Amino acid sequence: MAHSNSQRGVCLPMSERKRVTIKDLAAEVDVHYSTVSRVMNPATRHLVAEEVATRILKLAELRGFRPNRIAAGLRTQRSGLIGVVLPDIANPVFPPILAGIEAVLGRHGYVPIVVNAGVERARQRFVIDQLLARQVEGLVLATAERDDPLLDYCFQLGIPVVMVNRGEHTGRASCVVSDSQLAMALTVDHLVSLGHRSIGHIAGPASTSTGELRREGFMQAVKRHRLRRGAYAVVEAESYTREAGRRACAQLFEALPGLTAIAAGNDLVAMGCYDFLRERGLRCPEDVSVVGHNDMPFVDALTPPLTTIRIPVHDMGEQAAELLLRRIEKPQTATVVIELRPELVVRGSTGAPPGQG
């Protein structure tokens, strides 16, 4: 029954045609299949007579031969697969990072397996196990929180790991991040130069490296400018979301009633600030200036267009992939932290403080 339509002589639909293998080719050219294998690999091609090689290559082309990378990988112990673990692909920061990763990987003959790991521990482990069962040669983690147990799990398993976007401080893995300290310096400098003297910061969750580092950066900048206590305040958003930003913004106004400028932990948080200001009937930037972080797509189309920090997301992906590949080649390579240079993009959400225009 199952074979009712595969009688001899009937042309099978392509989907049922057997994939062609080196053995098929070898039989047809009448050489041993190891010779075919040598020809298919550019690095060993020179080992076989040119005439034979061209004959094989031509036939391979004709038959649409495609070497089975998976079989090769089994033999060579290299799958050519890299796992990319994201907390949430729908977060607009990740797609460009992923694009950067994929670009570099492709150039080196690798291919990414992308998974959404979410936030639950159990799911994260499951996903990593899936990846490992597929023999991924390394992992790019964009999920990591400070002291992330997932990281411990990876190290325990002995798989090469690099972190992107968020960092970690134990030095066990290389990280590619944007320079948060510089970013916050740019932000605060900009605000101060506009005349602001009462500035609040809505920090991201302290469990993330970005949350912590941006907060530190803010504090340093504020001290460098000798803002006195009472001229600045920091509150923490529960998460990097618009809604958490809105709530944190409310708290910030309680902590620092006279504030004229807000450095938001990221653009989503900044959007939450917009929401809050609108509710309160406060105008941006006339009453309160807002600076975001990330330069997400389309924040230039908000009203007002958001002044924010642009982080080189695509680059981050590329660098992370390169670091990982290097580490796979040479496992002894020292871990490094690559800090990429962010830049301030001034748009319409920042201006002089009220009464100073």
CB of 27 to DNA, least distance (A): 11
Q: Kindly write out the interface string for residues 293-322 of this chain, putting x where it contacts a second copy by CB under 8 A and - elsewhere.
A: ---xxx--xxx-------------------
Q: Are 227 and 194 within 8 A, CB to CB? A: no
Residues 6+ apart with CB under 8 A from 215: 201, 203, 204, 206, 234, 236
Tell me the chain's radius of gyration from C-alpha atoms.
Answer: 27
Is residue 72 a contact point for DNA (CB under 7 A)?
A: yes
Site track 47-66 with DNA (rule: CB under 7 A), x = hit: xxxx-xx-----------xx
In the complex, the smallest distance separating the C-beta of residue 334 from DNA, rounded to whole angstroms, is 27
90 binds, among a second copy, DNA, none (CB under 5 to 8 A by kind): a second copy
242 CB neighbour count, 10 Å cutoff: 17
| Site size with a second copy, rule: CB under 8 A | 59
Please give the residues from 134 up to 173 whose contact with a second copy meets the rule CB under 8 A.
134-135, 155-160
Q: In angstroms, what is the minimal distance from the CB of 157 to DNA?
A: 14
Tell me the torsion sign for CA atoms 75, 155, 205, 174. Answer: negative
Residue ranges in 36-95 that form contacts with a second copy under rule CB under 8 A: 64, 66-71, 73-74, 79-81, 88-90, 92, 94-95
Residue 248, Cα to own-chain centre: how many angstroms? 26
For residue 115, state whether it binds a second copy (rule: CB under 8 A): yes
Site string for a second copy, 175-214 (x = CB under 8 A): ----------------------------------------
The DSSP annotation for 158-179 comes to T--EEEESS--SSSSSEEEEE-
Residue 4 near a second copy by CB under 8 A: no
Closer CB to a second copy, residue 223 or residue 283?
283
Amino acid, single-letter form, for residue 68: N
Neighbours of 130 (CB within 10 A): 13
Q: Which residues of 6-36 are buried (b: 16+ CB within 10 A; e: fewer)?
A: eeeeeeeeeeeeeebbbebbbeebebeeebb
Report 267-296 residues binding a second copy (CB under 8 A): 271, 274, 296
φ and ψ at residue 76, rounded to 5 degrees: -90, -5
| Minimum CB distance to a second copy smaller for 44 or for 356 | 44
Of the residues 67, 118, 195, 354, which one makes contact with DNA according to CB under 7 A: 67
DSSP 8-state code for residue 20? P
Which C-beta is closer to a second copy: that of 41 or that of 68?
A: 68
Report the amino acid identity of residue 128.
I
List residues binding DNA (CB under 7 A): 18-19, 21-23, 31-35, 37-38, 40-41, 44, 46-50, 52-53, 65-68, 71-72, 74-77
